[in-house]
């Protein structure tokens, strides 16, 4: 099977139109690495412009509402993301779970809405430092998978899981390659339990302080199908260095 790692930039609440030049540079760089799937999730306000200008990379959102529309001030529906040119949405990021008290049930409902709107879905899971110290990391992550992933026919082909230990996000700290491999193996086993043979094909990304220096070894860890990048995705140079590292792991 052709292996095409997926490298996703999560711009979080960063970026005004001045950043569109950076996005274009990322897109041009992505064209040089056909063996890597490159995607960026900018703030909602930039999705349409970025999607209109993108030739190679895909563009998506960082959240959506579970409802198709209605009286939900400040929220954005999945169909609106698709209408703006988005092709995917990141759901259940730990910052949403922590700062907006998102539950597994809500993440699952959002994922179902996103699939209905024709989007691909990247669902984030990951333990806190206290949970890891207590030896609960795998149990926490498996419970998040059980609660947040939608089920049903053909769904496995349209979802991606991102394992992001909360303590590694934006901190410069990363788990050992062995710990990443152990967790990704546990996630794979759970996905196969949940989806049968189709679960074997779901990409599992690693996220949390990935940068140009550590990308190669993290991407080489067992069952790692790509990476979700925060800080290092904001500059084309640092993001493309990670894309380059991923191209070494692909069949390119
Ligand atoms: P980071 O963020 O790369 O800045 O650690 C990753 C994420 O939150 O997706």
- For 196-220, the pLDDT digits (tens) are 999 999 999 999 999 999 999 999 9
Mutate to test the pocket of ligand 1, among 124, 164, 167, 242 (most ligand atoms within 8 A of CB): 164
Mean of the pLDDT values across residues 243-251? 84
* DSSP string for residues in 123-156: EEE---HHHHHTT-HHHHHHHHHHHHS--STT-G
The pLDDT, as a whole number, for residue 220 is 95
Q: Which tokens go with 34?
A: 């056909």
Beta bridge partners, 59, equal 40
Could you give the percent of the chain with pLDDT greater than 70? 98
- Report how far ligand 1's centroid is from the alpha carbon of 13 (Å): 12
93 is an active site residue = yes
The pLDDT, as a whole number, for residue 153 is 87
pLDDT in tens, 139-183: 999 999 999 999 988 999 999 999 999 999 999 999 999 999 999
If you ran DSSP here, which 8-state letter would residue 149 be given? S
Mean of the pLDDT values across residues 206-235? 97
Q: Residue 40: is its pLDDT beyond 50?
A: yes
User: Residue whose CA is closest, atom 7 of ligand 1?
Assistant: 230
**Confidence tier at 8 by pLDDT (50, 70, 90):** very high
Residues having CB within 6 Å of any atom of ligand 1: 10, 164, 169-170, 207-210, 228-232
Closest-lying ligand 1 atom to the alpha carbon of residue 169: 5
pTM > 0.95:
yes
The pLDDT, as a whole number, for residue 1 is 41
SS3 172: coil
Catalytic residue among 95, 102, 164, 223: 164
**Confidence tier at 2 by pLDDT (50, 70, 90):** low
Please give the Cα distance from 236 to 238 (Å, whole number): 6
Q: Residue 3: is its pLDDT beyond 80?
A: no
Mean of the pLDDT values across residues 75-94? 98
Q: Which tokens go with 114?
A: 């996103």
User: Residue whose CA is closest, atom 6 of ligand 1?
Assistant: 230
- What mean pLDDT is reported for the chain? 96
Catalytic residue among 93, 102, 127, 223: 93
Contact predicate 66/113, CB 8 Å: yes
- Report how far ligand 1's centroid is from the alpha carbon of 117 (Å): 26
- Report how far ligand 1's centroid is from the alpha carbon of 214 (Å): 13
Mean of the pLDDT values across residues 1-7? 80
The closest of 119, 128, 16, 17 to 65, measured between CA atoms, is: 119
The pLDDT, as a whole number, for residue 250 is 66
- Report how far ligand 1's centroid is from the alpha carbon of 90 (Å): 12
Query: Where do we find the tokens 């907006």?
Result: 100
């Amino acid at each position: 099977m052709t292996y095409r790692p997926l490298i996703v930039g999560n711009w979080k609440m960063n970026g005004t139109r001045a950043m569109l030049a950076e996005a274009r540079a990322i897109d041009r760089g992505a064209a040089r690495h056909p063996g890597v799937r490159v995607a960026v999730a900018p703030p909602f306000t930039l999705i349409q412009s970025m999607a209109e200008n993108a030739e190679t990379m895909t563009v998506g959102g960082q959240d959506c509402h579970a409802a198709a529309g209605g009286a939900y001030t400040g929220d954005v529906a999945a169909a609106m993301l698709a209408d703006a040119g988005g092709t995917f949405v990141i759901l259940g990021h730990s910052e949403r779970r922590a700062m907006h008290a998102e539950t597994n049930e809500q993440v699952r409902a959002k994922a179902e809405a996103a699939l209905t709107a024709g989007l691909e879905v990247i669902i984030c899971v990951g333990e806190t430092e206290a949970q890891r110290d207590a030896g609960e990391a795998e149990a926490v992550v498996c419970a998040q998978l059980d609660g947040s992933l939608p089920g049903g026919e053909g769904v496995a082909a349209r979802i991606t899981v991102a394992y992001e230990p909360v303590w590694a996000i934006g901190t410069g700290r990363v788990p050992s390659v062995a710990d990443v491999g152990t967790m990704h193996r546990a996630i794979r086993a759970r996905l196969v339990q949940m989806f049968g043979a189709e679960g074997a094909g779901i990409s599992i990304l690693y996220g949390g302080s990935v940068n140009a220096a550590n990308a190669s070894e993290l991407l080489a860890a067992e069952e790692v199908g790509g990476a979700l990048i925060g800080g290092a995705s904001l500059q084309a140079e640092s993001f493309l260095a990670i894309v380059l590292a991923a191209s070494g792991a692909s069949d390119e």
